[in-house]
Amino acid sequence: MRKIWDIHGGVHPPENKAQSLQNTLKEAPLPSLVVLPLSMHVGAPAIPCVAIGDRVKRGQMVAKPSGGFSAAIHASISGTVVAIEDRLISHPSGNPGRAIVIQGDGLDEFVTLDPIEDFRQVKTEALVARISEAGIAGLGGAGFPTHIKLNPISSVNTLIINGSECEPYITADHCLMREFPDQLIQGIQLLAHILGEPKQVLIGIEDNKADAIEALTKAAEDSSIEVVTVPTKYPSGGEKQLIQILTGLEVPSGKLPVNLGIMVHNPGTAVAALDAVTKGEVLTSRITTIVGENLEQSGNYRVRIGTTLSELLPLLGLNVEKTHKMVLGGPMMGFAMPDLNTPVLKITNCVLVPSAEELPDPEPAQACIRCGTCAEVCPAQLLPQQLFWFAQAEDHHNLQNHNLFDCIECGACSYVCPSNIPLVQYYRASKGAIREADRERIASDRARRRFEVRNERIERETQEREVKRAARMQAAKEKQAASKSVSTDEDMVAAAMARVKAQSAEEAKSPSIDQTHQVQRQSLQDRVKSIQKKIKAADTDTDIKPLESELANANAQLQRFEDQTSVSLIDQASNKPIEPEPQDSASAAIERAKLKALQQGELSETEKLEQSLESLAKRIDKAEDRVKMARLESSDTLEALENGLEKLLTKQQEAQSRLVELESEQNSEQES
């Protein structure tokens, strides 16, 4: 006789299971239309793989898993896809979700099946793949994709089938265990085979299911499966609670049963896995308890997934006028839905349609009196009172520190609360808010990381460009120094004057003008030499200073004469009339600019670019100094100065790029 352990807390609400156990399992009528939400399991929503207007058969995949942590969805009737849109789904939030709508054709055609005769002769990977393709998720209400659980992170030494079904009114698993014990035993053997034959395989059943216990005990006689009877107590059907009852082990906070080498499955999940492997059938229907005093025919029905309650319940004698409320699940853990258009999902194990007397509305919530009863009945040994206060204050930090996510939402605390506080609703809302905050934080962290990586990349590319620019500038300077023997301004001026004189001689310029220029130049040069001799002969500073001033004037006159003469010769060479220019500093500057332009015309494009780059470098240095000073002084001209600096940098980059192109072209010409 196996030892049984007790769990902390728990309650004993009225069971109310007799209403749905009076008759055997029945087939629900074939629906004319089904609504298949893309998210009827734990994990990422499935992705539609059909389009509006497509004709489908029962068992055909209409939505594929999105990644590993998801489950496929199949058509539960044959017909035509008429919509892929937002529809009301079975969720405590009451929010709509994306769904595929199929209009039935009444033919109920099934896809071709591919059964496996002996699963023991097939590799476990292939069996898990078959279960995944069938879209099976936990049918006990959690909706965890079964193929994920069958790929555990560590070895499993104990497999538990949860036949407790402690929630009032619900008898779906009870009906299955009572009417299909042989199929359940075979399904359990399939799961054990996939998990590597655990050392012990247990079926935990509450002692209020005598007929199911008897049927399973007889079916498991020739196997190593042990049927264990546990005391009736709510919520003994919680996964962690049943593990403690059967093994005495407690799953630590934040851990999973598989961390202890234990795995728990629902009876319906085991049979669905067996059908997927040995019959090739995908999950298109499930056993659902439909019960309540507002129905004429309460019982357990095999319902097509996606069937809307607005179509199903009237066929079972629903009195719409007297309908008080509609609850999906039991009265302890279920939630009310405001609309009959809600569809049956993979996780819908019960539809409760009670009268006002059977399940009256709760009294208005009052202030907490700190009686502590909620803590006494909590099976997870939490502090519901403190969690309630933190939930009201939206104190997510303390909620997590007090292990909010260990709450199984069994509703025992709300059931015993004398102040009628809907504690579970506060916990559900807080869990949703924390998950949403975590998603936003993760998204924010990702965005910040992308921004940092982008800045690092831009900085790295800028540094690489600067290194390349410096290398190009150095190479250009070295090339210029090697190819030019004359680089000073004086040499360039002399060369330009020589070219002008040669051109003037070829065009037979007027001899009288040239002689006049020579006489004037010689006169000015003689004057300069005369003053220089006087300075050498002078004895005192008083005599030298007037002579130095006179010498400076004479040199200036000689320079202006030379400039005027050069311009005159250039104009004469281009057949332009010679006009006298005023002999002042402005005129001399203009003439020097003209001469420089002429010299520029004689330079190659490469030489021009090199000179332009040198000039730009000096201008950029000055512009950067002005920008720094404007920033320090918070000057109003900062933006204008920055724009000017940016334009200079753009010109510099363009000149550098063009210089590189010219060098490449010259290298190509030399190689050819």
H or E segment and range at residue 303: strand 299-304
Q: Which of 668, 166, 217, 202 is nearest to 408 (CA)?
A: 166
Whether residue 90 has pLDDT greater than 70: yes
Whether residue 596 has pLDDT greater than 80: no
Decide yes or no: CATH 3.40.50.11540 for domain 124-280. yes
Q: Which residue has the higher pLDDT, 281 or 587?
A: 281
State the average pLDDT over residues 165-174: 94
Strand-pair category, 158-163 with 96-104: unpaired
Strand-pair category, 225-230 with 79-88: unpaired
pLDDT band at 45 (very low <50, low <70, confident <90, very high): very high
pLDDT band at 337 (very low <50, low <70, confident <90, very high): confident
Whether residue 94 has pLDDT greater than 80: no
pLDDT band at 566 (very low <50, low <70, confident <90, very high): low
Calpha distance 387→431 (Å, rounded)? 11
Whether residue 491 has pLDDT greater than 70: no
pLDDT at 592: 61
H or E segment and range at residue 12: none
pLDDT at 575: 46
Tokens linked to 611 = 């000179």
Calpha distance 619→426 (Å, rounded)? 68
Whether residue 393 has pLDDT greater than 80: yes
pLDDT at 300: 96
Tens digit of each residue's pLDDT (9 = 90 or more) over 3-40: 999 999 999 999 999 999 998 999 999 999 999 999 98
Site of tokens 């851990």:
255
Peptide bond connecting 235 to the previous residue in cis, omega within 30 degrees of 0:
yes
| Torsion over CA: 364, 370, 376, 379 (sign) | positive
Calpha distance 48→45 (Å, rounded)? 10
pLDDT band at 237 (very low <50, low <70, confident <90, very high): very high
Whether residue 201 has pLDDT greater than 50: yes
Q: Which of 328, 331, 356, 332 is nearest to 342 (CA)?
A: 328
Lowest mean per-residue pLDDT among 229-233, 487-491, 617-621, 629-633: 487-491
DSSP of 413-477, one letter per residue?
HHHH-TT---HHHHHHHHHHHHHHHHHHHHHHHHHHHHHHHHHHHHHHHHHHHHHHHHHHHHHHH
Q: Which residues contact 644 (CB under 8 A, 6 or more apart)?
A: 623
- In 167-298, DSSP assigns E strands to 200-206, 225-230, 262-265, 285-291
pLDDT at 579: 45
Calpha distance 182→202 (Å, rounded)? 15
pLDDT band at 109 (very low <50, low <70, confident <90, very high): very high
Average pLDDT, the chain: 85
Lowest mean per-residue pLDDT among 316-330, 410-424, 465-479, 510-524: 510-524
Q: Which residue has the higher pLDDT, 635 or 416?
A: 416
Q: How many residues does the chain have?
A: 672
Phi, psi of 586 (to 5 degrees): -65, -45
Whether residue 490 has pLDDT greater than 60: no
Q: Which of 146, 385, 389, 84 is nearest to 274 (CA)?
A: 146
Calpha distance 227→184 (Å, rounded)? 12
Q: Which of 13, 38, 26 is nearest to 172 (CA)?
A: 26
State the average pLDDT over residues 612-617: 84
Whether residue 419 has pLDDT greater than 80: yes
Tens digit of each residue's pLDDT (9 = 90 or more) over 456-473: 999 998 899 889 888 888
Q: Which residue has the higher pLDDT, 182 or 502?
A: 182
Whether residue 635 has pLDDT greater than 80: no
Whether residue 500 has pLDDT greater than 70: no
pLDDT at 564: 67
**Residue 109 CA from chain centroid, whole number:** 40
Instruction: Name the percent of the chain lying above pLDDT 70.
Output: 86
Calpha distance 316→295 (Å, rounded)? 6
H or E segment and range at residue 34: strand 33-37
Tens digit of each residue's pLDDT (9 = 90 or more) over 507-563: 544 444 555 667 677 777 777 777 777 777 666 556 666 777 777 777 777 777 776
Whether residue 389 has pLDDT greater than 50: yes
pLDDT band at 497 (very low <50, low <70, confident <90, very high): low
Q: Which residue has the higher pLDDT, 85 or 662?
A: 85
Q: 175: which strand partners? A: none
Calpha distance 437→385 (Å, rounded)? 23
514-553 burial: b if 16+ Cβ within 10 Å, else e = beebeeeeeebeebeeebeeeeeeeeeeeeeeebeebbee
Whether residue 416 has pLDDT greater than 50: yes
pLDDT band at 655 (very low <50, low <70, confident <90, very high): confident
Q: How wide is the angle at C-alpha 356 spanned by C-alphas 353 and 361, nearest 5°?
A: 100
Whether residue 9 contacts residue 412, with contact meaning beta carbons closer than 8 Å, is answered with: yes
Tokens linked to 99 = 């769904």
DSSP state of 149: H
Q: Which of 329, 36, 351, 372 is nearest to 167 (CA)?
A: 329
Instruction: For residue 497, count CB atoms less than 10 angstroms from its CB and return exposed for 0-12, middle for 13-18, buried for 19 or more.
Output: middle
pLDDT at 582: 44
